[in-house]
């Protein structure tokens, strides 16, 4: 037989996969909770959100407000890293019902003398938890309610706000019901706001045809810091396999001086816990990490679970690879394609527990060396539940570790990786170009439940993707792509030197770089600074100074009557920092149009003055209409307006 609970709680949101998947927040972010709460009959109910950090003993409580159609809302702030729990609790509030009934009857001139006698019980019931002064007051109230000669005084007290506030302060939660308990994972703020620069350490040397080292990298740190990047991501820095090593441009025949793909990990020099001797030593790497930290830069490491044929694991743990009937080891393939320089890990191995532990060991090793950010290579080719386990394990000890999922694949696969625990995700931004494409995609990321668990990281390019629209593109197009990435997403990054220097020579008909740094050392003139360098620097500075750009979800697109102009309004949670961004999406010509201000979201009326300050040029404007003229030249194809009402 069921119990006597009367209140039904359902549709608690946010709720991902029926609560199996935690939502994500960063420290000091809010969780907006909505729920439908129902009771039979006409009784008043009270509803609250209960929440606590996993390590807390006691739940905190915040009252939910009633909205239309039996919906309720409250929000709470998460202040510490790690898991928070939350649930909705609801109960019929008999004391408030009694008070509401008595007020209705008095308004209808009915006698309430019996009701006053009933009230004695409600008053006594809340007395236990009350303060001393409150106790005395309640004792007096009970006496007055019981005394038929004090009817006038009694009814004044009965309907008083003072009594109501005590009923609310000490609710008697009879037959209270609870929703399922849901989880929030709270990351440090960098999970939501980060600016990445990627280069290959082997190309860090300023000398031509010289293999770069960590010491060369140290020299580049001030440049990266000055440009406003806070995360410096290196492709794998481990020993590179010598067996089946790839040559330049992915050639299966390597020359003797070829350095191979950084992702072909493992050789006689060691595996995932070793440093490629050409880059230096583990000590060099640790020193680099420390020096970077002093400049406000974190080194992000690549975590690529695969092995070159000469990786030490192949001999030490042959059961972690798949062996074929002819005694050879299975290399990576996606028939008919073959990747002979890489052996996939055999996750179906009977020895998988030891394998998983070793994979965890690699992360722990580098965490001990000072790493707190991992860019995970192709996570979508390893089991989802493996990621769930390994990320959870790491976060138990190190809640501040951030994992970026490098999965460019089908939407639900990418979403699933985020659900399993990745802190950030690469996205399709790299291929979203037109106003419609960008609007649809950003609205999908920010206006659906994706916003609760998937944090996009927008990259205009990567070593793997030289998008068609950047091949041979104008400088204006490069500026445009960086500004879009850096203002639409609070997490953004570039494959730096190639982007800055607008290197875009491609393999014919492909979105791949010619002479890709993936397979060779490249030489850059690191001392060179161009217009793009300066604009990136300035945009990064604006990102750091404007909270509206430090989260992705608060965005509202504005109508512009020119498809080559995109405009959007961004704000911080407190609406103290408001920006309007306009970008010319075309790379060659001046674009002009009429922009409709989102008056409702801005909280202003038609005719009200709006002051706009362009944070790039420091030009100022005053608008007082809903529709306003905008024009952008390819030379500086964007506005970032700071708004003042």
Active site residues: 377, 406
Query: Which of the ranges 80-88, 404-412, 459-467, 596-604 carries the binding residues for a copy of itself, by CB under 8 A?
Result: 404-412
* Sites for a copy of itself among residues 40-69 (CB under 8 A): 40-42, 69
CB of 587 to a copy of itself, least distance (A): 32
CB of 2 to a copy of itself, least distance (A): 4
Of 328 and 527, which CB lies nearer to a copy of itself in the complex structure?
328
Q: How far apart are CA 282 and CA 382, in angstroms?
A: 27
**By CB under 8 A, is residue 105 in contact with a copy of itself?**
yes
Positive/negative CA dihedral, 540, 544, 550, 556: negative
CB of 4 to a copy of itself, least distance (A): 6
Number of residues that bind a copy of itself (CB under 8 A): 58
**By CB under 8 A, is residue 175 in contact with a copy of itself?**
yes
Binding mask 576-595 for a copy of itself (x = CB under 8 A): --------------------
| The one among 208, 294, 324, 576 contacting a copy of itself by CB under 8 A | 324
**By CB under 8 A, is residue 100 in contact with a copy of itself?**
yes
Residue 507: other Cβ atoms inside 10 A: 14
Positive/negative CA dihedral, 253, 256, 262, 266: positive
Q: Which helix (H) or strand (E) holds 35?
A: strand 29-38
CB of 138 to a copy of itself, least distance (A): 18
Q: How far apart are CA 65 and CA 150, in angstroms?
A: 36
Query: Which of the ranges 333-341, 465-473, 511-519, 572-580 carries the binding residues for a copy of itself, by CB under 8 A?
Result: 333-341
**By CB under 8 A, is residue 181 in contact with a copy of itself?**
no
3-state SS of 131-199 is CHHHHHHHHHHHHHHHCHHHHHHHHHHHCCHHHHHHHHHCCCCCCCEECCCEEEEEECHHHCCEEEEEC
Query: Could you tell me which residues are beta bridge partners of residue 211?
Result: none
| The one among 55, 57, 58, 108 contacting a copy of itself by CB under 8 A | 108
Q: Which helix (H) or strand (E) holds 542?
A: helix 531-545
**By CB under 8 A, is residue 104 in contact with a copy of itself?**
yes
CB of 239 to a copy of itself, least distance (A): 26
Full DSSP string of 4-31: S---EEEEEES-BGGGTB-EEEETTEEE
Q: How far apart are CA 579 and CA 560, in angstroms?
A: 16
Q: Which two tokens stand for residue 615?
A: 């944070």
Specify whether the backbone of 613 is left (phi greater than 0), alpha (psi in -120 to 50) or beta: beta
CB of 356 to a copy of itself, least distance (A): 7
Of 315 and 412, which CB lies nearer to a copy of itself in the complex structure?
412
Q: How far apart are CA 437 and CA 432, in angstroms?
A: 5
CB of 141 to a copy of itself, least distance (A): 16
Are 252 and 264 within 8 A, CB to CB? Answer: no
Of 107 and 605, which CB lies nearer to a copy of itself in the complex structure?
107
**By CB under 8 A, is residue 416 in contact with a copy of itself?**
yes
Contacts of 131 (CB under 8 A, 6+ apart): none
* Sites for a copy of itself among residues 341-370 (CB under 8 A): 347-348, 352-353, 356
* Sites for a copy of itself among residues 16-35 (CB under 8 A): 17-19
Are 494 and 461 within 8 A, CB to CB? Answer: yes
**By CB under 8 A, is residue 336 in contact with a copy of itself?**
yes
Burial of residue 100 (number of CB atoms within 10 Å: 0-12, 13-18, 19+): middle
Instruction: Please give the residue ranges that form the binding site for a copy of itself (CB under 8 A).
Output: 1-6, 8, 10, 17-19, 36, 38, 40-42, 69-70, 100-101, 104-105, 107-108, 110, 114, 117-118, 120, 174-175, 324-326, 328, 333-336, 347-348, 352-353, 356, 380-386, 388-389, 410-413, 416
């Amino acid at each position: 037989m069921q119990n006597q609970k009367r209140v039904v709680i359902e549709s608690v949101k946010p709720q991902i996969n029926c609560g199996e998947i935690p939502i994500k927040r960063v420290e000091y972010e809010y969780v907006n909770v909505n729920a439908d709460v129902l009771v039979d009959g006409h009784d008043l109910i009270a509803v609250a959100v209960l929440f606590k950090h996993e390590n807390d003993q006691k739940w905190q409580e915040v009252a939910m407000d009633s909205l239309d159609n039996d919906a309720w809302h409250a929000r709470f702030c998460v202040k510490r890293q790690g898991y928070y729990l939350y649930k909705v609790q609801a109960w019929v509030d008999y004391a408030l019902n009694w008070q509401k009934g008595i007020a209705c009857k008095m308004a209808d001139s009915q006698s309430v003398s019996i009701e006053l006698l009933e009230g004695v019980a409600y008053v006594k019931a809340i007395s236990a938890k009350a303060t001393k002064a409150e106790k005395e007051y309640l004792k007096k109230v009970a006496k007055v309610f019981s005394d038929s000669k004090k009817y006038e005084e009694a009814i004044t007290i009965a309907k008083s706000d003072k009594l109501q506030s005590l009923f609310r302060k000490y609710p008697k939660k009879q037959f209270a019901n609870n929703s399922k308990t849901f989880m929030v994972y709270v990351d440090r703020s960098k999970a939501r706001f980060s600016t990445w620069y990627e280069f290959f350490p082997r190309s860090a040397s300023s000398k031509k045809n010289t293999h770069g080292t960590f010491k060369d990298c140290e020299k580049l740190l001030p440049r990266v810091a000055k440009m406003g990047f806070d995360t410096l991501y290196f492709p794998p820095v481990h020993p590179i396999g010598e067996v089946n090593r790839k040559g330049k441009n992915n050639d299966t025949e390597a020359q003797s001086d070829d350095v191979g793909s950084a992702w072909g990990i493992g050789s006689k020099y060691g595996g995932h816990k070793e440093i490629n001797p050409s880059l230096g030593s583990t000590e060099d790497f640790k020193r680099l990490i420390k020096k970077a930290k002093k400049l406000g830069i974190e080194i992000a490491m690549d975590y690529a679970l695969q092995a070159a044929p000469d990786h030490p694991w192949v001999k030490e743990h042959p059961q972690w690879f798949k062996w074929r009937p002819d005694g050879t080891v299975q290399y990576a393939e996606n028939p008919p394609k073959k990747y002979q320089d890489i052996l996939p890990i055999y996750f179906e191995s009977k020895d998988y527990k030891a394998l998983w532990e070793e994979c965890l060991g690699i992360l722990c090793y580098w965490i001990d060396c000072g790493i707190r950010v991992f860019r995970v290579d192709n996570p979508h080719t390893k089991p989802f539940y493996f990621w769930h386990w390994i990320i959870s394990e790491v976060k138990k000890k190190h809640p501040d570790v951030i994992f970026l999922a490098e999965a460019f694949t089908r939407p639900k696969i990418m979403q699933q990786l985020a659900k399993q625990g990745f802190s950030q995700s690469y996205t399709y931004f790299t291929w979203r170009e037109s106003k419609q494409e960008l609007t649809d995609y950003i609205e999908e990321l920010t206006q659906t439940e994706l916003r609760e668990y998937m944090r996009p990281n927008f990259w205009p390019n990567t070593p793997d993707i030289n998008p068609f629209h950047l091949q041979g593109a104008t400088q204006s197009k490069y500026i445009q792509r960086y500004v879009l990435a850096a203002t639409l997403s609070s997490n953004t990054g570039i494959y730096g030197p190639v982007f800055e220097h607008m290197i875009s020579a491609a393999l014919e008909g492909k979105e791949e770089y010619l002479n890709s740094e993936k397979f060779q050392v490249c030489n850059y003139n690191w001392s060179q600074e161009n217009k793009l360098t300066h604009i990136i620097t300035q945009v990064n500075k604006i990102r750091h100074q404007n909270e509206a750009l430090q989260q992705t979800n608060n965005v509202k697109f504005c109508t512009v009557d020119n498809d080559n102009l995109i405009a959007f309004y961004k704000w911080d949670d407190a609406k103290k920092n408001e920006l309007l961004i306009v970008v010319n999406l075309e790379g060659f010509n001046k674009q002009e149009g009429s922009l409709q201000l989102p008056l409702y979201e801005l909280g202003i009326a038609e005719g009200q003055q709006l002051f706009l300050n362009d944070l790039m040029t420091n030009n100022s404007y005053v608008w007082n209409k809903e529709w306003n003229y905008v024009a952008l030249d390819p030379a500086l194809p964007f506005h970032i307006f700071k708004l003042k009402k």
